[in-house]
Structure 1
Amino acid sequence: MKEATDILPIYKIEKSCILSNSGDFTIAFKAILPEIFSLSDRDCEAYHQAWVKAIKVLPAGSIFHKQDWFLSENFVADFDKANDNFLSRSSERFFNHRPSCQHSCYIYLTKKPHGRKPSSSAVSNILRKSLAPAQTVNPLLMSEFVDKAGQFERILHDSGFLTLHRLDDDELSGTADKAGVIERYCFLLGENDMPAIRDIHLKGEIRIGEKKMEIYTLADTDNLPAFCGSRINYEPYSTDRSKFSIGFASPLGQLLQGNHILNQYVFIGDAQKTIKRLEAKKLRLQSLSAYSRENAISRDAVNDFLNEAVALGRLPVKSHINIMAWSDDPLEVREIKNRVSSAMAAIDAVAKRETD
């Protein structure tokens, strides 16, 4: 058995930022998103472009992490809010104790230390001028990233689709009466749950207390959808003459039953270095295209990507998506795989169940 403090990469929380042992620092926001089924096809595209525009202002070496929590709960009526209004009280009474899905969204913006490399025999801490990364001891570098995060927040606010609230120290670490986002994530606590400590088992399975967790990822390019866009048609509400739009990833979020977390990561690197590396790859594939048709197809794909990146100002990034689903009911745990596989099929993707 190991203590969480020996494994957790978080060093401390200071000035509403999460500092890691590796020198990363993270700014967290809570986002209020548009309600499902409330956006038209044009709104979906404008909403998507607002995210793209906001992510583009982040500097190289940044990580954008959007974390959506979906928790199954019973609706609790607020009769005091309804006052003496007959219709309001009837509505509260009708939905009281009915199953519902509580959705909360968090945005994490992380800045990695510049030039950080994995530890090896060739790159050792004792060969560095300073053990601490430059950005952790230079307040100017941290201030610049905070300014970029402010621009990110303002762009999303100005879009009119969502609002962001920056989390303070208590909301990150929690208090004696309320769990913070870090504690909630470690022990799978609800937003209104009291702080609690649970054992985390990682041998053979992932289990937090009495809750067993399954993790599914989009791990290979062959498993990605053939087409990605800002929206898809929601068939139950669509007809031959009219199409009803929902967000492209909605089948993995609000429409997926059960307790789960949808994590979406975007890793922003040095765009010029990435394009230069792809140019070298294209030339290498060009020289090998005579030996294999696959090399010729890959060369054309890389060339099309480079043309689009230069002509339209695209930003090359890396991405990762995973779903963390859990339940304390053994029968429901067996259904998680079917639910996630069906949700992935709705966007023409294939999920990989993580077991190692």
Structure 2
Amino acid sequence: MKDTDIKKIFNILAVDDDLLISKKGDVSLVYKVMLPQIYSLDSDQIEQISVIFDKVIRSLPAGTILQKQDFFFVDAITEHVSESRNFLSASDNRFFHEKPTMSHECYLTIIKDSKSKVSILNNSSQYNKYLDGIDDFIKAVESSLSFLTKEGFFTVERLNNDQIIALLGKYLSLSKEGETNLRDMFFDKNLQIGNKFAELYTISSNNQLPITINSTIKSIEYSTPKTDFRIPFIQPVSTGLDVNHIYNQVIFIEDSEKVFSSLKTKMNQFKSMAILSRENQVTYQQVEDLVEDVLERELTFIYQHFSVIVWNVSQKKLEHDVNLLENAFRDLGITPYQVKYALKELYMNNCPGAPAYISENHKFIGISEQTSSLLNFESYYESNKDGILFCDRKNESPLRLDLWDEPVKKGIIVNRNRLIFGPSGTGKSFLINHIASQYYEQGHHIVMIDIGNSYKKLCELVDGVYFTYDLNSPLQFNPFYYYDEDEINIDKKTFLLSLIFFLWKGEEGASREEKQILSSYLDLYYEHVIRNGIFPCMSTFYEFISENTAVEEESSYFDKISFKLSLKDFYDGHYKDILNAAEPANLIHERFIVFEMDNIKDHPILFPLVTMLCINLVMTKIQKIPGEKKSIFIDECWKPISKGEMAEFIKYLYKTVRKFYGEVAIATQDLEDILDTAAGPAMVNNTDTLIMLSHKKKMASKDKFSKYLSLSESDLQKLYSTDKGEVYVKVGSMSNVYKVKVSPERYACYSSNADENKVIRGIYEAKGNMSVAINDFIDLNSQKK
């Protein structure tokens, strides 16, 4: 096998002044394009992008070649996924190191075709005159590309000299690094570059395509009997193909009349030969229908060429990859041509900036509007700098999803609150553990209110504070207490009103007059406390109301006897210790706090009361540290505080948290849990982020999700495509599905498996260190395998 002298066949002459110049004078501008994430686009958006790209083609001058190249590389994770040295963060780096994945880069080369009229090698003075028109060409290109950027789907960045050279290196070495020291090249029926073996497939005729091409197709993997999960038509051979490959897409923008004239000639040829064969008759009819459609709709004719290069480091591995590619083409109804005899020409002519060299017999006529269905407009998932560590569902690559700062800065959301829905058995507490642990590692103050000890291991691992309510030794609170007079504000009074009305009336609503009178009592009480140095607590407030009158004739609207009887237990009765603590807990500097309510979950008074008091304690804390990030997770415990007058408390909670740089994450199993409460509308209206685990067994809720959570048909397709271990996340109007894959250390910390927890708990009690207990548990498991 004889190698080829690259200098003789290389069509590129120079890279100069951020321009790519071919040997016959074609001048190219080169751009890197950031594309939308895979699975993030719905059918309407894909159609919208098709229209946008059609505008780009129509706006470029005749004689322009648009070359789009998508590079897909089989890759491995080598960089740390976390900079923290925390026990769990360090385990992430070990777990993901060297995991296989895919990476993608997209480049757009816009070429001014010299039509071979001017050659830089033969007539430099004439060529310099030709270059005088380049400025106008650059302006036209930039104007056209503005269609891509203004809708927000794409980010376009023009490459400089060094970046263009690196791109040429990527193509000519078939490597992500973009080697500039070129390898030996062989084109003897198979393409070989250095140690890489490759095959090249082309689409250069309409006969190779299915009769009809839609912009989207149904994904069998992610669709359900009631939902169609739509993906772009070409995805199976682009982002859906998990092998090293380059997808070349070349569009030749000519004068549409000239293309039409060429097409009429072909029509006449087929018409004259139609009598000889049925195939010619069919071809003639297809071309005639195409022409009529274009003329009727005033569309634009173009020439086009598509090719795929697939490679690997051995022939055996390449055969496997080629089978995957051919199967993908077959599923799409495409019959590509496997290039053998024009391999050298087609490979070199598809080099960035060189498509003007592609011969006429490898081009075919198309319509600009339909061509976009054959273009790739997706990339893999994009990772944020900070956020929750998930994996993309396509390649299981680790990525950060920022639900905190970036969406607010971009105006995608106006609050950070979130609703978490996880039907039984889908891993709701596992997911919340995962989110809370990472937020703690990133500096958040975390408060969790829970039933079931789901977060005890995590709390012990980070040396947090764990409160378990004990009926024999109850937690003591004092919501009336204040450290500074400026704490006696509208937020505090709103909370106290909700608390007192709950103790007085339960779920029964209060009248406007009762609210006004009790509010007046609170104002008078705090004036009395400040003026006379009275200790603020439930008992002194009870006594103040007993001994005073707030407004004239209040007895007509305010039943003081009922009030006193309802609250007497909290004054000097069975619950007198709960609301009269002499030294309220100071949790300002505690960064991880868990309130466990399992012991009182069935108590009709203590459960909602203590939940409210815990939240108020947290409210006092967060107001003292306004610049710190604060996350409050309420797992199921929100139900008893969302009834009757408690709806006002929910509104108070959301408002206060938002004002002090925080979030409330309310978790539940079913949407009905939210809808069946008075606070439901307030919770939904004040929540811009939805996190939902697999709902495949909840198809009956489809219409309710659409109506009450404003989920579009595309959102529902994504939601119902999720399996166990996956999570649907909607931030504002943007949504996608992510995988929850964690290290063995995180799994042991989050697991709710009773047998596993028994082993971990036993080790912890013996050694007194949760990280040691988790490591020992992992070692025991590995010995069993």
Would you call these one fold, judging by a TM-score over 0.5? yes
Measured in 2, the distance between the counterparts of 1:136 and 1:352 equals 40
How far off is 1:304 after superposition? 2.4
Query: Which region of structure 1 is more displaced relative to structure 2, 145-154 or 160-169?
Result: 145-154
Query: Which region of structure 1 is more displaced relative to structure 2, 89-98 or 181-190?
Result: 89-98
Aligned to 2:160: 168
Amino acid at match of 1:156: L
Q: Which has the higher strand share?
A: 1
Please point out which of 256, 272, 276 is paired with 2:257. 272
Q: Tell me the SS of whatever aligns to 1:53.
A: helix
How far off is 1:12 after superposition? 0.9
Aligned to 2:720: none
- Structure 2 portions without partners, runs of 5+: 342-785
Aligned to 1:310: 295
Measured in 1, the distance between the counterparts of 2:324 and 2:125 equals 43
Q: Tell me the SS of whatever aligns to 1:335.
A: helix
- Structure 1 portions without partners, runs of 5+: 118-124, 174-179
Aligned to 1:105: 106
**Is the contact made by 1:136 and 1:142 (CA closer than 8 Å) also made in structure 2?**
no
Measured in 2, the distance between the counterparts of 1:299 and 1:253 equals 32
How far off is 1:290 after superposition? 6.3
CA offsets per residue over residues 129-167 of structure 1, 9 Å max, x none?
x84696652344212211121012211001211111101
Alignment RMSD, CA only? 2.7
Amino acid at match of 2:193: I
Q: Which has the higher helix share?
A: 2
Residue 144 of structure 2 is aligned to residue 152 of structure 1 = yes
Measured in 1, the distance between the counterparts of 2:87 and 2:230 equals 34
How far off is 1:92 after superposition? 5.2
Q: Tell me the SS of whatever aligns to 1:236.
A: coil
How far off is 1:8 after superposition? 1.1
Residue 342 of structure 2 is aligned to residue 354 of structure 1 = no
Residue 184 of structure 2 is aligned to residue 199 of structure 1 = yes
Distance 1:114-1:207 versus aligned 2 partners, 3 A rule: closer
Aligned to 2:129: 137
Residue 242 of structure 2 is aligned to residue 240 of structure 1 = no
How far off is 1:261 after superposition? 0.6
Distance 1:286-1:163 versus aligned 2 partners, 3 A rule: same
How far off is 1:305 after superposition? 2.2
Larger radius of gyration, structure 1 or 2? 2
**Is the contact made by 2:14 and 2:20 (CA closer than 8 Å) also made in structure 1?**
yes
Distance 1:283-1:232 versus aligned 2 partners, 3 A rule: same
**Is the contact made by 2:25 and 2:116 (CA closer than 8 Å) also made in structure 1?**
no
CA offsets per residue over residues 246-269 of structure 1, 9 Å max, x none?
111110111112111111111111
Query: Which region of structure 1 is more displaced relative to structure 2, 92-101 or 323-332?
Result: 92-101
Please point out which of 247, 261, 277 is paired with 2:246. 261
How far off is 1:97 after superposition? 2.0
Residue 302 of structure 2 is aligned to residue 322 of structure 1 = no
**Is the contact made by 2:24 and 2:116 (CA closer than 8 Å) also made in structure 1?**
no
Measured in 1, the distance between the counterparts of 2:169 and 2:293 equals 43
Aligned to 2:213: 228
Distance 1:207-1:133 versus aligned 2 partners, 3 A rule: farther
CA offsets per residue over residues 36-93 of structure 1, 9 Å max, x none?
111111111112221111121111111111100110011234345x547888766555
Q: Which has the higher contact order (CA 8 A, sep 6+)?
A: 1
Q: Tell me the SS of whatever aligns to 1:71.
A: strand
Aligned to 2:175: 189
Q: What TM-score do the two structures reach when normalised by structure 2? A: 0.40
Query: Which region of structure 1 is more displaced relative to structure 2, 18-27 or 223-232?
Result: 223-232
Aligned to 2:202: 217
**Is the contact made by 1:271 and 1:315 (CA closer than 8 Å) also made in structure 2?**
yes
**Is the contact made by 1:77 and 1:95 (CA closer than 8 Å) also made in structure 2?**
no
Amino acid at match of 1:29: Y
**Is the contact made by 1:74 and 1:99 (CA closer than 8 Å) also made in structure 2?**
yes
Amino acid at match of 1:257: D
Q: Tell me the SS of whatever aligns to 2:133.
A: helix
**Is the contact made by 1:214 and 1:326 (CA closer than 8 Å) also made in structure 2?**
yes
**Is the contact made by 2:184 and 2:194 (CA closer than 8 Å) also made in structure 1?**
yes
Residue 334 of structure 2 is aligned to residue 342 of structure 1 = no
Aligned to 1:176: none
Q: Tell me the SS of whatever aligns to 1:237.
A: coil
Identity level (%):
26
Distance 1:97-1:141 versus aligned 2 partners, 3 A rule: same
Distance 1:226-1:57 versus aligned 2 partners, 3 A rule: same
Q: Tell me the SS of whatever aligns to 2:41.
A: coil
**Is the contact made by 1:75 and 1:98 (CA closer than 8 Å) also made in structure 2?**
yes
Q: Tell me the SS of whatever aligns to 1:265.
A: strand
